[in-house]
């Protein structure tokens, strides 16, 4: 290996364009004591050609340059060599790149980027971010210009087009423990004269399949299920078909029948991302609480998927990207579709405050107040939102310890916990999940309305005690009176339906305690909750 030689390797496809680049290379100042070789390579596949050029040259230092680049800084080679000599751990130097990759894998689309170049036929200045020191370490530099001081094989086995091989090469260097950096420059050092380029879908898929686990955080998708093999299979498929690759799918099955366990066998054999747990003797509460206490410490995010709901393919990809670019956000949710028993989208409007009329970020306090003032769960069911686990209470669902073992309105309670930790990001421009309406879902249990109201009362009490979302006594009084009105309607409906259950007794006692608090300094002494297996509301049906 010749330590005093620099080789510039160019994939040549157009002679005139190539000659313009060579002309700009000849204007560069070659570092003292070094020689410079210009090595054109050709062939049907760019990264195979790069490998050929790399093997032909004995130069210690190699620079791979796109032929549509013009070099603008005559001291470029000197600056590159200065960085290499200062730090032997630097494997790749570029002029621009992604500090963090976008979750859909396109380097140029990444929100956190750095470097500056001139782009396009109009030579437009693009500054992705200034660099404060000699260089910025990145996950990948752009393939406009890539300088190396070590030789690694380009992944021609994965990429047969002209895209993603440069990004993969950077990650291969990182796998070997080398740094990939963007050099600090006062002015752009290159002009990349191309206005449009195509992204090869197969190459993108290969890139994400190969590198997602090291680029992106792990997401747990939790699916509790009970005797719904048909709907469950659809839900499971929607999780496995996520465009976001770094997931684990955890299934907690308390079915009394074996159909779900039987169908799981084919999935377990072909997809290592699935973890299946059969809990045949569990009640619904048992299954729920096992699932909510499951914790993979390697997973940064958690998304529940009810076994009759669906994820749309880009759900996790879109939501993780928002979290990665918004550290102040503790909860990400979106509009969702309502589907019928056959999966058809029905024209049913879900609750949504008027203020949320576009994709936007909302303060946690404002987001919580909207929910409390309307008494509606506009944020969505457990399927709808992606949770950043570090904002949970002791890595558990819910807002307070007393809610352990009680799963009605656990979604709202969890949203409250998260909104006390940060802001809400609301996605208006695309539904990312579907909530299924059908006769056997939990919301149609006979006693569910009473349980629902009892749960809301506890959440109101917690908010008041924690001084969250409710700012003064007037707001709290309004919330309680509004709740009493809603709870009264629940009792009327139960009476009209000739339904009797322990849930109603709990609701009546809760109403008595809330009414008493209005004249007792808003101190609410709520009764114990009695409901569950005796009234058959504790088991999914």
Q: Yes or no: say if 207 and 105 are a contact pair by the CB < 8 Å rule.
A: yes
Residues of the chain with pLDDT under 70: 404-407, 440-446, 530-541
What local confidence, expressed as pLDDT, does residue 44 receive?
Answer: 92
What local confidence, expressed as pLDDT, does residue 305 receive?
Answer: 97
List the beta bridge partners of residue 119.
124, 192
What local confidence, expressed as pLDDT, does residue 406 receive?
Answer: 55
What is the radius of gyration, based on Cα positions, of the chain? 29
| Beta strand 145-148 pairing with 90-94 | antiparallel
The secondary structure of residue 393, as a DSSP letter, is: B
How far is residue 418 from each of residues 164, 293, 338, 415, measured CA to CA in Å? 37, 17, 25, 5
What local confidence, expressed as pLDDT, does residue 541 receive?
Answer: 24
What local confidence, expressed as pLDDT, does residue 4 receive?
Answer: 95
Question: Residue 321 CB: number of other CB atoms within 10 A?
Answer: 22
> Which of 45, 116, 30 minimizes the C-alpha distance to 76?
30
pLDDT digits (tens, 9 = 90+) for 390-399: 999 988 888 9
Distance between first and last Cα of the chain: 71
What local confidence, expressed as pLDDT, does residue 536 receive?
Answer: 39
pTM over 0.95: no
Rounded CA-CA distance 217/23 in Å is 44
Handedness of CA 466, 472, 475, 478 (dihedral sign): positive
Rounded CA-CA distance 247/533 in Å is 34
At 385, list the tokens: 């939102």
> Which of 229, 214, 130 minimizes the C-alpha distance to 174?
214
Give every CB contact of residue 36 below 8 A, 6+ residues apart in sequence.
5, 6, 7, 8, 25, 28, 30, 77
Question: Residue 534 CB: number of other CB atoms within 10 A?
Answer: 10
Rounded CA-CA distance 366/384 in Å is 19
């Amino acid at each position: 290996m010749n330590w005093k030689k620099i080789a510039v390797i160019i994939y040549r496809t157009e002679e005139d364009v190539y000659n313009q680049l060579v002309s700009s290379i000849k204007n560069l100042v070659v570092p003292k004591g070094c020689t410079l070789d210009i090595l054109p390579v050709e062939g049907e596949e760019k990264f195979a050609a790069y490998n050929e050029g790399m093997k032909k040259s004995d130069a210690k230092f190699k620079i791979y340059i796109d032929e549509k680049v013009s070099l603008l800084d005559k001291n470029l080679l000197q600056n590159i060599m200065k960085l290499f000599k200062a730090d032997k751990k630097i494997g790749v130097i570029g002029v621009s790149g992604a500090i963090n990759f976008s979750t859909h894998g396109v380097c140029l689309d990444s929100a956190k980027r750095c470097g500056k170049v001139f782009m396009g036929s109009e030579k437009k200045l693009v500054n992705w971010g200034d660099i404060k020191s000699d260089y910025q370490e990145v996950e990948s530099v752009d393939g406009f210009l890539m300088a190396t001081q070590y030789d690694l094989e380009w992944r021609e086995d994965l990429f047969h087009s002209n895209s993603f091989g440069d990004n993969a090469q950077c990650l291969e260097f990182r796998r070997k423990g080398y740094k990939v950096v963007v050099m600090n420059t006062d002015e752009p050092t290159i002009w990349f004269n191309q206005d449009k380029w195509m992204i090869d879908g197969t190459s993108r898929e290969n890139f994400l399949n190969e590198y997602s686990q090291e680029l992106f955080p792990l997401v747990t998708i939790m699916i509790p299920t009970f005797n719904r093999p048909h709907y469950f299979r659809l839900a499971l498929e929607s999780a496995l078909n996520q465009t976001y690759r770094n997931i684990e799918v955890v299934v907690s099955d308390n079915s009394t029948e074996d159909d779900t366990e039987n169908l799981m066998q084919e999935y377990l054999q072909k997809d290592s991302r699935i973890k299946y747990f059969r809990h045949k003797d569990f009640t619904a509460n048992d299954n729920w609480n096992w699932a909510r206490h499951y914790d993979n410490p390697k997973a940064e995010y958690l998304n529940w998927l009810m076994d009759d709901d669906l994820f749309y393919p880009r759900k996790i990809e879109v939501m993780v990207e928002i979290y990665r670019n918004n550290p102040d956000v503790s909860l990400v949710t979106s509009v969702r579709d309502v589907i019928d028993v056959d999966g058809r989208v029905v024209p049913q409007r879900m609750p949504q405050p008027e203020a949320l009329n576009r994709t936007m970020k909302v303060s946690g306090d404002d987001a919580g107040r909207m929910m409390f003032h309307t008494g509606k769960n506009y944020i969505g069911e457990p399927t709808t939102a992606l949770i950043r686990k570090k904002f949970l209470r002791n890595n558990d669902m819910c807002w307070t310890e007393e809610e352990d073992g009680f799963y009605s309105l656990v979604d709202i309670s969890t949203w409250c916990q998260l909104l006390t930790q940060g802001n809400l990001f609301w996605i208006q421009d695309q539904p990312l999940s579907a909530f299924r309406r059908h006769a056997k879902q939990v919301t149609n249990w006979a006693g569910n309305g009473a349980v629902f109201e009892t749960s809301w009362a506890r959440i109101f009490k917690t908010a008041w005690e924690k001084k969250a979302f409710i700012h003064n006594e007037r707001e709290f009084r309004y919330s309680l009176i509004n709740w009493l009105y809603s709870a009264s309607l629940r009792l009327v409906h139960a009476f009209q339906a000739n339904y009797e259950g322990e849930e109603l007794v709990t609701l009546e006692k809760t109403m008595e305690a809330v009414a008493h608090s209005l004249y007792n300094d808003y101190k609410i002494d709520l009764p114990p909750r009695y409901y569950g297996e005796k009234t058959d509301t504790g088991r999914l049906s």
